[in-house]
Amino acid sequence: MTQVPNAEAEFERIQVGSLVDQARDQIRRNILTGQLRPGERIRDSVLAEGMGVSRSPVREALRLLEQAGLVEKTNNRSYRIPEFAPEDVNELAALRAADEILAVRVIATKRPPLDTLAQAIAVMVEAGDDPARGLAADAAFHAEVVRLAGLPRLMERYRGLTDQIRLVLRANEAETWNRSPTIVDSHTELLEALRAALDGGDTADLIRLWENHVLRGMAAPHMLNPL
């Protein structure tokens, strides 16, 4: 009997361009949106049928996603979506804090314009009760901080890290959005502290604030001793 993809997973027929990239993007999207769930097994033949391509680009796409930590290979050569324990959140929180703190230290030295961070906060305000938009704006703010540092390797590492963070938070039901003054205010406070550091303020205060924001936001405040 022919297997069919999970009824909730959504795939589109691939027409042109890089088959591997398109297959990877579609599988990644279904993982990060929860259509493919932690612990769920997936087979390249089933995915290939759903996307209307051969198994070869799907296999390569799965290999790339395995490197990114979004799928893992099982003993019978199929793949599954990883299941995460609470301690995984602690590790990812510490790694995220390290990357973002490096970024803000570089920004404090390079002094680039920070207008795009203010724009991300404005989107948070406008998100209202839309969790997808609110979470995207939150993630965009922090990704933009890393981009402003102007370090391509850091950006690439952080991009892979944030995919794992989204997956592990979703697995532990910790990715939530509830618009409140606190959320907007906390990001505004980060931006103001960053601006102060660019104007000659105390970078140590900025680092302490940023680390606390990241660790508490991922429910891992005790992972590192306060600076």
Reported in sequence order, the residue ranges of 9-150 that DSSP labels E, i.e. its strands, are 41-42, 72-73, 79-80
User: pLDDT per residue over 21-63, tens digit each?
Assistant: 999 999 999 998 888 988 899 999 999 999 999 999 999 999 9
Domain definitions of the chain by residue range: 19-80, 86-217
Q: Which of 77, 76, 65, 72 is nearest to 38 (CA)?
A: 72
Least confident of 1-5, 42-46, 115-119, 151-155: 1-5
Task: Give the separation between CA 143 and CA 158, rounded to whole angstroms.
Answer: 8
Strands (E), the chain: 41-42, 72-73, 79-80
In the CATH hierarchy, which top-level class contains the domain 86-217?
A: mainly alpha
Measuring CA to CA, how many Å separate 14 from each of 25, 28, 60, 67, 119?
A: 11, 15, 15, 23, 34
Q: Considering only the top CATH level, what class is 19-80? A: mainly alpha
Beta-carbon contacts of residue 186 (< 8 Å; ≥ 6 apart): 213
| Average pLDDT score, the chain | 86
